[in-house]
Amino acid sequence: MQKADAPAETLIIEDDEPPSGRLVLKSFYPSPVADFGPVSRKRHTFIVPVKTRPIKGLAKTTPKTRAFIKKYFPQASTRDWHDWQWQVRNRVRTYEKLNQILPLCPEELLADKASQLPLGITPYYLSLFSDSTPEHPLRRSVVPTVNEWIKMPCESDDPLGEDHQSPVPGLVHRYPDRVLFLLLDFCSTYCRYCTRSRVVGHGGILASRARWEKAIEYIRNTPTIRDVLLSGGDPLTLSNDRLEWVLSRLRQIPHVQIIRIGTKVPAVLPQRITPALVKMLKQYHPLWLSLHFTHPDECTPETHKACTMLADAGIPLGSQTVLLKGINDSVETMTDLMHKLMKMRVRPYYLYQCDPITGSGHFRTTIHQGLDIIRGMRGFTTGYAVPTYVVDAPGGGGKIPLMPDYVCGHTTEDLMLTNYENKPFTYPDPVQAMPVQG
């Protein structure tokens, strides 16, 4: 990133990204992002496109993706495709456009106007399933169907009761020592099972400096908060300047020990992970990233490169996955996903039972199925590869871990257990005599 003491005459903004948007800015006027008090003092008056140079360091694309670009985005250059802002600008937002690329089935076509969550899919993510049938797991997770119309009695728009635990708009303070700070409500790609579909994509949680200042003030005035989780929407869809504005201010608060960012960008918009972003993020350690992954098909060469860049910057990477019916609800799929994440140096962290949000019934499995998946993984693969299966308690009770029961009894001398192969074992665990009263 251009630093404040760099020559002012020739500055590169957008953190030398995206490639196709590389602009040389010359001047002495405030930057268009100056209302956010950019950390670096960037100035410009006019824009001069930089001549294109040989492309170095871009992620490999698969033959399938290259065929997709040629067919549906023939005007896009290689630089465009690897430019995260081009991906955001060209995301598919209408059923008409989607239907031109991916012939929709009746259940998908009829979903138009039915959902409270907007449609949005990056060209990159769409390229992963453009030739698919309606059952394709990635398609099911981002293309709406009429099932979103069906509301079950157990469902609500805010099942986790976040709106009642919000001392400042966009800040959720549920646990004593940590807060959830929703920076914006925008995502490059919208997941149909999103827990925050009541707010995401609706323009109600804006990336506004005034709101952010109130939230930061609350954090500053609450010394018990040692951990801030930045979420949304997707925080990594903010420009580097805006994100750094928040990170730098949080880092000035002595009691904030760690900062975490929740994002699905490496899966749906891996082009966003640029050298400039990583260079900026690593200045704010200890910084952790929770990466949202759904299915092994998301683990592409592009995503691998993005995770490698983040891991090389010393950022611990953990995964979050929602258990989804017909998408990832088998031992084989879940194990494959966790193995692929580990190869990308992402530590499997949480497997969430799907929250009962309005219109999500077609996504929810039973708890029994979730436990069976964990039982089918524990002992059969690396312990690190087994995520913690949790239910986020409706009403705001927080995450409750669930484990298959390996205890089958207790005698006065022994605890009776079964191992992962369902073989019986005993462990010496004598029942303690009760202390004599009086």
Q: List contacts with ligand SF4 (CB under 6 A).
A: 187, 190-191, 194, 196, 200, 232-234, 264, 292
Compare residues 40 and 294 and give the one whose CB is closer to ligand SF4. Answer: 294
Q: Which residues of 398-426 are buried (b: 16+ CB within 10 A; e: fewer)?
A: ebeebeeeeeeeeeeeebebeeeeeeeee
φ, ψ dihedrals at 259, nearest 5°: -120, 135
* CA-wise closest residue to 328 among 296, 353, 291: 296
Give min distance, CB of 265 to ligand SF4, in A: 8
Q: Are 388 and 351 in contact (CB under 8 A)?
A: yes
Give min distance, CB of 260 to ligand SF4, in A: 14
C-alpha span between 335 and 379 (Å, rounded): 12
Tokens standing for 266? 């490496």
- For residue 101, the surrounding DSSP H or E stretch is helix 95-101
Compare residues 21 and 262 and give the one whose CB is closer to ligand SF4. Answer: 262
Tokens standing for 115? 């959902």
C-alpha span between 94 and 119 (Å, rounded): 7
Compare residues 102 and 191 and give the one whose CB is closer to ligand SF4. Answer: 191
Compare residues 170 and 233 and give the one whose CB is closer to ligand SF4. Answer: 233
Compare residues 72 and 363 and give the one whose CB is closer to ligand SF4. Answer: 363
Strands 11-12 and 287-292: unpaired
C-alpha span between 130 and 152 (Å, rounded): 31
C-alpha span between 374 and 335 (Å, rounded): 9
Give min distance, CB of 193 to ligand SF4, in A: 7
Residue nearest to ligand SF4 (CB): 194
Strand ordering across the sheet containing 414-418: 407-410, 414-418, 424-428
Give min distance, CB of 234 to ligand SF4, in A: 5
Give min distance, CB of 118 to ligand SF4, in A: 9
Give min distance, CB of 237 to ligand SF4, in A: 9
Give min distance, CB of 67 to ligand SF4, in A: 27
Compare residues 194 and 344 and give the one whose CB is closer to ligand SF4. Answer: 194
* CA-wise closest residue to 373 among 350, 408, 404, 347: 404
φ, ψ dihedrals at 260, nearest 5°: -120, 150
| Residues known to be catalytic | 174-175, 178, 187, 191, 194, 196, 355, 392, 399
Compare residues 76 and 215 and give the one whose CB is closer to ligand SF4. Answer: 215
- Distances in Å between the Cα of 96 and the Cα atoms of 101, 137, 147, 405 are 9, 21, 20, 49
For tokens 């490169």, name the residue. Answer: 305
